[in-house]
Amino acid sequence: MEIVIQPDPELAGDLIAQEIVRLYRRKPTAVLGLATGSTPLPVYEALRRRHEAGEVSFAEGQAFILDEYVGLPEGHPESYRTVIRTELVDHVDFPRHALHAPEVEAEDLERAVLAYEWAIRDTGGVDLQLLGIGENGHIGFNEPGASLASRTRVGYLTPSTVAANARFFDDDESQVPRRCVTQGLATIMTAHHLVIIATGEKKARAVAQMIEGPVSQRWPASVLQHHTHVTVLLDEGAASQLELADYYREAYGSVPSWRII
Ligand code: F6R
């Protein structure tokens, strides 16, 4: 894992955006995996800006969302499809049909979920998967206890995730859907480059467990220790419980300037 500690979330977001721009220049058909929540918003903002400046085109690209609530109607402002459209797709030249999401309204949800897993495989794999992390160590909606070998499936939110996400639903936990579809941990691990962003002290414990703790279902993000190409972008708050923070700073300081992350 490469750990990059930045003074503020905007800088971290822009570094990821630069990496995505570089990816699309090298491979215009690149496949992105996209997370929602508040932490990746600076990435989408930077991508909109860089697209407007003519630095990048997504016209031949594809994207798969990481997870989705079950039970929100199409077009609901908090459905993750809507969030990705309003934060990114509607502002850049990404073809609308190139944004893939699990069919959470399907009558046969289990079948729809399998189809989503296969659709990801059929592309040959996600080139860059953007991830956030929950305070309880989840990635996607792979809550503590998720099998490290899990594939895309229907899941159920923990009370701590419901409480954390209530802020998107008028601070009313009863409005937060409990069921979800999420790419599994093993699905996420098939992406070529995993880029995870975490900001704020609330994430510090989960971040420390992910990077320096044992690999375990209790902290699902710790599975990333088994991937060969993971970049972790942190602000000082999220990095505050890392035992080896100074070493990570020094090591990233030594990377050649042509390499972004
Ligand atoms: C959302 C997702 C979640 C979030 C996590 C952190 O697609 O995959 O794992 O990344 O819940 O959310 P924020 O960024 O809102 O703290």
Q: pLDDT tens for residues 45-85?
A: 999 999 999 999 999 999 999 999 999 998 999 999 999 99
**Residues 6 or more apart from 88 whose CB is under 8 A from it?**
34, 44, 47, 48, 94
The pLDDT value given to residue 33? 98
Domains and CATH numbers, the chain: 2-253 (3.40.50.1360)
Q: Which mutation among 70, 130, 138, 199 tests ligand 1's pocket best, with the greatest number of atoms within 8 A of CB?
A: 138
Q: Low-confidence residues of the chain, pLDDT below 50? A: none
What residue owns the CA closest to ligand 1's atom 2?
140
Phi, psi of 97 (to 5 degrees): -70, -10
The pLDDT value given to residue 260? 87
Centre of ligand 1 from the C-alpha of residue 133, in Å: 6
**Residues 6 or more apart from 19 whose CB is under 8 A from it?**
128, 195, 231, 260, 261
The pLDDT value given to residue 140? 98
Torsion sign over Cα 164, 150, 218, 179: positive
Centre of ligand 1 from the C-alpha of residue 148, in Å: 18
The pLDDT value given to residue 96? 86
